[in-house]
Amino acid sequence: MNVALAPRPSVVLRDADEAFVTLDGVTKVFGKGKASMTALENVSLELRKGEFVCILGTSGCGKSTLLSLVAGLDKVTSGTIEIADGRPAVMFQEPALLPWLTVRRNVELPMRLHKVDTEERNKTVNRLLSMVGLIDFADHRPHQLSGGMRQRCALARALAQDSELLLMDEPFAALDALTRDQLHDDLNRIWQETGKTIIFVTHNVREAVRLGDRVVLMTPRPGRVARIWDVDIARPRELDSFEVSGLAHEITAQLRAGAAGNGAQ
Q: How large is the greatest C-alpha to C-alpha distance in the chain, in angstroms?
A: 60
* Among positions 54, 90, 201, 248, the unique one binding other proteins when judged by CB under 8 A: 90
Q: Establish if 72 lies at the interface with other proteins (CB under 8 A).
A: yes
Q: Should residue 81 be labelled a site residue for other proteins when binding is judged by CB under 8 A?
A: no
Q: 206: Cβ–Cβ under 8 A, 6 or more apart, which residues? A: 239, 244, 245, 248
Give 223's DSSP letter: B
Binding mask 19-58 for other proteins (x = CB under 8 A): ----------------------------------------
Q: Which is nearer to other proteins, 165 or 183 (CB)?
A: 165
Residue 47, φ and ψ in degrees, nearest 5: -120, 135
Which stretches does DSSP call E strand in the chain? 19-30, 37-48, 52-56, 78-83, 89-91, 165-169, 197-202, 214-219, 224-230
Tell me whether residue 87 or residue 249 sits nearer to other proteins (CB atom): 87
Cis peptide before 95 (omega within 30 of 0): no
CB of 87 to other proteins, least distance (A): 5
Question: Among residue numbers 150 through 209, which ones bind other proteins (CB under 8 A)?
Answer: 161
For other proteins, the closer CB: 90 or 217? 90
Where does 161-195 have alpha helices with state H?
A: 177-194
Is residue 148 a contact point for other proteins (CB under 8 A)? no
- Interface ranges with other proteins (CB under 8 A): 68, 71-73, 87-90, 92, 94, 96, 98-101, 109-110, 112-114, 141-144, 161
